[in-house]
Structure 1
Amino acid sequence: MISSRWTPFLFLAPALAGLLIFRLTPILVAVGGSLSGVSLMGELRYVGLENFEYLADDPEFWESLRTTLYFNLLINPIQLAVAFALALLVFRPLPGVWFYRTLLVLPMAVSTGISAVLFGLFLDGNLGPMNGFLEWIGIGAQPFHRSHDQALYTLIGIATWKGAGYWMLFLLAGLYSIPSTVYEAATIDGANGWQRFRYVTLPLMRKPMAFVLVADTAINFLFFAPVYILTSGGPSGSTSVLMFQAYRAAFTFSDIGRSLAISTVLLGIIAIIVVLEFRFMRSPEEAK
């Protein structure tokens, strides 16, 4: 007879096994592989920190690092703000609100790769309907992902279209978890709509927003498919994020060790930023 105190662990065992096999093990393999290299004879050998030393002297790596950080500095708050605005928009039980909720989460049903292909056609300089519309209103056709100045922002727009509806669901659940009695008490105390939003909604949404920000950060640092499909890191390296550099090192230059070194650096950056975000999003009571 199994003791009742072990029952929760039995239920958690499949999830923990999946976490160990599909998450933690690949991380350990990547970190270990970053310390190895392939000889001219095709043999795997231990090289220590050579891969990291190469990256430290590689200007292309530093440029990709700057692009990755800048991309995430923009896209994470944008996606959080858009998702929160959409959640507030469909929170109230207005007529037909179910239709708008469905419309907002439809991008979730489209894979990232297919989304990139569709946007490539939509934004095409010759046949794309977006440029046709811009010419019709007098702005003129834009190069979008084919421009050094616009490519990164175009990818941010594509990623936001794809992800905002998904994150909206988490924030919408957070809004529904706020007791209506809190709003009623604030109204009785004379709080207007803006004051209820500022002093009730925002503080009570801190944890859902922290979760969305952290999860969104982890995903966006691994942003890859639209870069590979639409820009291939260009034009002129303007969209060459670290994930794409890791792919190139492994599958273009057959340098698995360097690719895993880039992935390890990326993992370390994500861990540091996630910790900082958790600390930043803590409530005043938790910070004490």
Structure 2
Amino acid sequence: MLSSRLTPFLFLAPALIGLVVFRLAPIGIAVAGSMTGTSLMGDLSFVGLENFAYLFTDAEFWSSLQVTLLFNLIINPLQLAVAFALALLVFQQGRAIWFYRLLLVLPMAVSTGLSAVLFGLFLDGNLGPFNGFLEWIGIGAQAFHRNQDQALGTLIGIATWKGAGYWMLFLLAGLYSIPSSVQEAALIDGATPWQRFRLVTLPLMRKPMAFVLVADTAINFLFFAPVYILTSGGPSGSTSVLMYQAYLSAFTFSDLGRSLAISTILLMIILIIVALELRLLRSPEDHAA
């Protein structure tokens, strides 16, 4: 008979094996590969930190890093706010509320690549219906993803449309987990709707919101498909995020070591930012512990 202490690990074994094989092992391979270089003959050799040293002197890398940080600085709190607003909206009781919930989660059924293609057609300057609407109301057609000043904002809008409904589900589950007795007690005490939201709902939603922000951050730092499909990093590098630079290094310039070095730096940035987010969103009880 197995020891009772080993029984939980037996049940967890499939998930732990999957975690090691599909998550941790690729990370280890990427970090090791970032210290290799490819010769003109295609031979791999150990180059130490040479790839990182090159990136730190590469103006294009720093430009992509700036674009990546700006993209995430805007989209992560934006998606969290939109998802929370949608969760509050569909949390209300109503006869047709199921219909609105269905509309909000429909973007989840569309792949990221297909979403980029559809938005490319929708926002097309010549045949796109949205630009036709803008001309009809007198604003005039816009270049959107083909304009240096609008391209990054357009990608942020596409990513928010795609992801807000998904994150809404987690926050909606958090709203349902709030005991109704707490809200009723605040109502009996004479709290206004705003006071109930600020003093009851928000504090009790801290952990679901922290989870969404952390998970959203990890995903958005790996944002790639719409950049590849719609902008190719342009115009003038305005949407050239680090993931796109990693793709170019590997598949355009055949420099796998440099690509993995970019991926490793991206991983370090994600870990640092996620750690900061978790620290900032800790509840008072967690600080006391």
**Which range, TM-score by smaller chain?**
over 0.9
* Residue correspondence of structure 1 range 222-241 to structure 2 within 5 A: 222-241=222-241
Deviation of 1:61 (Å): 0.1
Instruction: Give the match for residue 100 of structure 2.
Output: 100
Deviation of 1:287 (Å): 2.0
For 1:82-126, what per-residue CA distance to the aligned partner results, in whole angstroms no more than 9, with x for missing partners? 000000000022111111101100000000000000000000000
Aligned residues: 288
Q: Root-mean-square deviation (CA), in Å?
A: 0.7
Please tell me the residue identity of whatever aligns with 1:161.
Answer: W
Instruction: Give the match for residue 209 of structure 2.
Output: 209
Q: Distance in 2 between matches of 1:258 and 1:106?
A: 38
Instruction: Give the match for residue 127 of structure 1.
Output: 127
* Residue correspondence of structure 1 range 40-51 to structure 2 within 5 A: 40-51=40-51
Q: Distance in 2 between matches of 1:118 and 1:41?
A: 42
Question: Is the partner of 1:4 in helix, strand or coil?
Answer: coil
Deviation of 1:7 (Å): 2.0
- Structure 1 unaligned regions, length at least 5: none
Write out the 4+ residue segments of structure 1 that deviate beyond 4 Å after TM superposition.
none
Q: Distance in 1 between matches of 2:101 and 2:136?
A: 31
The two structures have a TM-score, normalised by structure 1, of 0.99
Q: Distance in 2 between matches of 1:6 and 1:277?
A: 34
Instruction: Give the match for residue 4 of structure 1.
Output: 4
Instruction: Give the match for residue 277 of structure 1.
Output: 277
Question: Is the partner of 1:45 in helix, strand or coil?
Answer: strand
- Structure 2 unaligned regions, length at least 5: none
Instruction: Give the match for residue 249 of structure 2.
Output: 249
Please tell me the residue identity of whatever aligns with 1:219.
Answer: I
Q: Distance in 2 between matches of 1:96 and 1:9?
A: 45
Question: Is the partner of 2:130 in helix, strand or coil?
Answer: helix
Please tell me the residue identity of whatever aligns with 2:286.
Answer: E
Q: Distance in 1 between matches of 2:81 and 2:50?
A: 41
Question: Is the partner of 2:234 in helix, strand or coil?
Answer: coil
Deviation of 1:247 (Å): 0.1
Instruction: Give the match for residue 187 of structure 1.
Output: 187
Q: Distance in 2 between matches of 1:266 and 1:252?
A: 19
Please tell me the residue identity of whatever aligns with 1:151.
Answer: A
Instruction: Give the match for residue 136 of structure 1.
Output: 136
- 1:196 maps to 2:196: yes
Please tell me the residue identity of whatever aligns with 1:264.
Answer: T
The two structures have a TM-score, normalised by structure 2, of 0.99
Q: Distance in 1 between matches of 2:283 and 2:199?
A: 13
For 1:43-101, what per-residue CA distance to the aligned partner results, in whole angstroms no more than 9, with x for missing partners? 10000010000001100000000000000000000000000000000002211111110
- 1:168 maps to 2:156: no
- 1:177 maps to 2:177: yes
Q: Distance in 1 between matches of 2:219 and 2:149?
A: 24
Q: Distance in 2 between matches of 1:4 and 1:118?
A: 54
Q: Distance in 2 between matches of 1:98 and 1:25?
A: 42
Indicate the larger mover: 139-148 or 92-101.
92-101
Please tell me the residue identity of whatever aligns with 1:28.
Answer: G
Please tell me the residue identity of whatever aligns with 1:104.
Answer: L
Deviation of 1:284 (Å): 2.0
